[in-house]
Amino acid sequence: MFKCFSRKSKVVEAEPPADIRDVFARYSGGGSNMTVDQFRLFLAEHQGEEGVAAAEDAERIVKEAMMQSKDTDRSSPSQGGGQIMEICLDEFFGFLLSSDLNGPIHCKVHHDMTAQLSHYFIYTGHNSYLTGNQLSSDCSDAPIIRALQRGVRVIELDLWPNSAKDDIHVLHGRTLTSPVTLIKCLKSIKEFAFVKSPYPVIITLEDHLTPELQAKVAEMVTEIFGDLLHYPGGEGLVEFPSPESLKNKIIISTKPPKEYLESKNSKDKGLISVLEKNTSNEEKDALLDYEYDYKSDGDQDCDESSSPNRKGPEYKRLITIQAGKPKGSLKDALRNADNKVKRLSLSEQELEKLAASHGTDLVRFTQKNILRIYPKGTRVTSTNYRPNIGWMHGAQMVAFNMQGYGKSLWMMQGMFRANGGCGYVKKPDFLMLRGPNKEVFDPKRTNVVRKTLMVKVFMGDGWSRDFSQTHFDTFSPPDFYTKLYIIGVPADAAKRKTRIIEDNWFPVWNEEFTFPLTVPELALLRIEVREYDRSDKDDFGGQTCLPISELRSGIRAVPLYDRKGEKYKSVKLLMQFQFV
């Protein structure tokens, strides 16, 4: 037992793996230090860096690497040039492990932002005001603020009259969720809209209001947002504006207030089975109303007491992205040749059905119009669905419950790490192009391998600093392994796993994996570290998800995140990415 405690308490610093030592020796000419010119050559040749050919760029990075060194005698090079600018092996290793200096993806906006909105995947929230489950959690502006701070660009608000019918509440209607006032949500959106990204925030409104309250919404929105609010003021657009033209602007998307006949279909009693046995009758009734409310999620009509000729023109004038229900079948709606661009909402089940039978019609529709996908009504615990089905078919707004967590949400977070995390990711050209016979990309068609990604997992670092020594195992160091997944079109799906490294806070795997890709533009690399447990479920040790189209070649520090997507302070993997 004492031996076990001794092993537990002994934590040493990570050392450079053999491959890293070899790279250092190769570019330092076998010396003990690497000069600025040698480092510049490493960045250009091994890392494939662009824009670092100039000696001053390499010198700047060397200075930063030296500043992070634990050797205080070397960490502050003199401004007079008396000290030789060189880095030793430990400083080189420190640079490689710095996700700030040597991260795995590009950290700046670099996509063309001048195309129309329908040419982008947009970071989209669902029921953005909910703090927890879909039935009984509190409604608040706090999750809206958190979403905006993470770069979410589409915020959904459900609007209902208050009990006195003289003000507007935001809540999930016909459930037990407690309301928050619309004015509080709008003020928070204004304050936090552009803290993460300067590109437009879209507010999707699910409207259950009388004409009088719609007029009050129009007054609130124009008064609170002022010059931040962009709206066309007309009868609809023939083409959406671009994210670049809408920088630092807020726009509204909802169904224009005209026809509204809201049918009172019978409620689906079958949903009671999704509730646990101890669910109260009050909660069961709320769930039934909740599913009824869900059937036209995002495109709801107004209160049945209204009449078309009383709709307020000011409210309609503020709508930039007009939403609507399909007239006739969904497949007919996708083929609608109307000149006006619009937004159509589909549930995840409707998407799956249409993807199976009319996939190319979905792609064709999204070349000009916006398609929004929302979670099915039985996801009462705010879980999510796999987003890649929507992306394969060009859906711009794949709406997620951002207050939840899980693998699907990790994928969403991974996709929108692309393009500097600005919340807008340019769709691949093949989703926007048409062939000579007007044919479009077919997600079901199997393509040839166009690129092969080679991934090497060198080692892991940081758990000893971010976790207690007994977090994983009480009497010994942890036993880590890494799992790698490719998520994208079905032909590219893959799963790999490293061996388990026993009793080590700094596991060194040095394992390489190869992933052939037919559609690399839509592929994500999902990484998850687990700690092996012989007697119970393996412990979670961190995760991340990275867009493969954004990966920087070479040896990179890959920061890991917790289950909810919060970045760990220290935990990371050292990996190498190569495309052949």
Enzyme catalytic residues: 126, 172
Q: How far apart are CA 145 and CA 188, in angstroms?
A: 7
User: 459 to each of 15, 285, 349, how far by Cα in Å?
Assistant: 10, 52, 41
Residue closest to 572 by CA, chosen among 479, 458, 474:
458
Instruction: Please give the radius of gyration of the chain, using alpha carbons only, rounded to the nearest integer.
Output: 27
Q: Which H/E stretch holds residue 40?
A: helix 36-45
Q: How far apart are CA 3 and CA 234, in angstroms?
A: 77
Q: How far apart are CA 286 and CA 153, in angstroms?
A: 30
Q: How far apart are CA 187 and CA 179, in angstroms?
A: 16
Q: What are phi and psi of 343, to 5 degrees?
A: -115, 135
Q: How far apart are CA 555 and CA 164, in angstroms?
A: 62
Amino acid, res. 14: A
Q: How far apart are CA 118 and CA 45, in angstroms?
A: 38
Q: How far apart are CA 231 and CA 221, in angstroms?
A: 11
Cross-strand bridge partners of residue 319: 252
Q: At what angle do helices 36-45 and 18-27 cross, to 10 degrees?
A: 120
Residue closest to 199 by CA, chosen among 163, 242, 158:
242
**3-state class of 83 per DSSP?**
coil
Query: How many residues make up the chain in this entry?
Result: 580
Cross-strand bridge partners of residue 207: 159
169 backbone φψ class: left, alpha, beta (φ>0; ψ -120 to 50): beta
Q: How far apart are CA 578 and CA 514, in angstroms?
A: 10
Q: How far apart are CA 530 and CA 500, in angstroms?
A: 9
Residue closest to 414 by CA, chosen among 570, 530, 528:
528
**CA within 13 Å, CB half, 70:** 5
CA trace torsion 392, 398, 401, 406 (10° rounding)? 10
Helix (H), strand (E), coil (C) string for 162-179: CCCCCCEEECCCCCCCEC
Sort 222 into a burial class: Cβ within 10 Å, 0-12 / 13-18 / 19+.
Answer: middle
Q: What sections of 193-280 are H helices per DSSP?
A: 211-225
Q: How far apart are CA 26 and CA 19, in angstroms?
A: 11
Sort 477 into a burial class: Cβ within 10 Å, 0-12 / 13-18 / 19+.
Answer: buried
